[in-house]
Amino acid sequence: MPRETTSALKSDRKQQILEIAGRLFARNGYRGTSIREIGEQAGILGGSLYHHIKSKDALFVELHNTALDAAEAGIVKAIASCKDPWERLHAACAALLEIQLAPDSITQPLMNDFREVPEDVRRQLVKRRDAFEELFRKLVADLPLPPDIDRAVYRITLLSLLNGVENWFRPGRMSPSEVAGQIIRIFRHDIVQGEEPSLKV
C-alpha cells in the first residue's frame, strides 16, 4: 500500500477516534469515560488504540484545545468586518453562543470538566482557556466604559453569563444571536444612564 494511502487511513481513523471520544467525554465526563469504551465504539480492541493516541489525558487535552481553536477561529471571523466596539462584542458573543448551543457541540461540556481532570491536565486546559479569553479581554478593553467599571469583573461576568446560557436555552423563541443581543443590551452602560442603545438586535 502506498505511504500516502496509509497516512490517509491513519488520519481518518484518528479523526473517527476523536469524534467518538468527544461524544463520550461530552456525555459521560472525563471520569465517566474510559479508553476501553472509546476503543470498543471505534472498533479497536486491546492496545491498538495507543497506536493513534498517547493517553486518555492527552486525548482530552487535544479535544479541548481543538474545540477552542475552532471557537476562536469562528469568533475572529465574525468580528472581522465590525468596526464599532459594541458591534464587535455582540458578534463575538453571538458566534460563541452559536457554537456552544449547536446540538453536536462538545465545547461547553469539555470546558465544564476542569474539576474532574488530573492537576497536570487542568493546568494545560487552563492555559489554553486563558489564551482563548484573551480575545474577550481585547474586546472589553475597546469598550467605552466609565473608569469606575472594572473591566476584568465585566469580562468575567459576561463570560460566566454566556457559558450559562446552555442551562436554560431552548430553541424557538429566540436565536443564539438574539440572546447575545439581549445580553449586550443588558451590559451596555448607557442603558443605565437612560440612553437608547444604537445596537440593533
Q: Between the ranges 107-111, 155-159, 166-170, 185-189, where is the mean pLDDT highest?
A: 155-159
Query: Residue 115 has what pLDDT?
Result: 78
- The answer, yes or no, to whether residue 195 has pLDDT greater than 70, is no
| Number of structural domains the chain divides into | 2
Q: What is the 3-state secondary structure (H, E, C) of the chain?
A: CCHHHHHHHHHHHHHHHHHHHHHHHHHHCCCCCCHHHHHHHHCCCHHHHHHCCCCHHHHHHHHHHHHHHHHHHHHHHHHCCCCCHHHHHHHHHHHHHHHHCCCCCCHHHHHCCHHHCCHHHHHHHHHHHHHHHHHHHHHHHCCCCCCCCCHHHHHHHHHHHHHHHHHCCCCCCCCHHHHHHHHHHHHCHHHHCCCCCCCCC
Q: How confident is the model at residue 108 (pLDDT cuts 50, 70, 90)?
A: confident
Query: Residue 198 has what pLDDT?
Result: 53
Average confidence score pLDDT of the chain: 86
CATH at residue 11 = 1.10.10.60
The residue assigned the cell 476584568 is: 152
Domain coverage including residue 37: 1-53
Q: What is the mean pLDDT of residues 9-37?
A: 85
Quote the percentage of the chain above a pLDDT of 70. Answer: 87
Contacts of residue 145, defined as CB under 8 A and 6 or more positions apart, other chains included, come to 151, 154, 189
**pTM of the entire structure?**
0.82
Same domain, 49 and 11: yes
Same domain, 29 and 71: no
Same domain, 70 and 49: no
Same domain, 107 and 185: yes
Same domain, 166 and 142: yes
Distance, in Å, from the CA atom of 39 to the CA atom of 48, rounded to the nearest integer, reads: 8
Same domain, 46 and 143: no
- The answer, yes or no, to whether residue 150 has pLDDT greater than 60, is yes
Q: What is the mean pLDDT of residues 54-77?
A: 92
Q: What is the mean pLDDT of residues 58-86?
A: 94
- The answer, yes or no, to whether residue 171 has pLDDT greater than 70, is yes
Q: How confident is the model at residue 189 (pLDDT cuts 50, 70, 90)?
A: low
- The answer, yes or no, to whether residue 6 has pLDDT greater than 50, is no
Same domain, 108 and 196: yes
CATH at residue 96 = 1.10.357.10
- The answer, yes or no, to whether residue 141 has pLDDT greater than 90, is yes
Same domain, 35 and 70: no
Same domain, 103 and 152: yes
- Torsion-angle region of 23 (φ positive above 0: left; ψ -120 to 50: alpha; else: beta): alpha
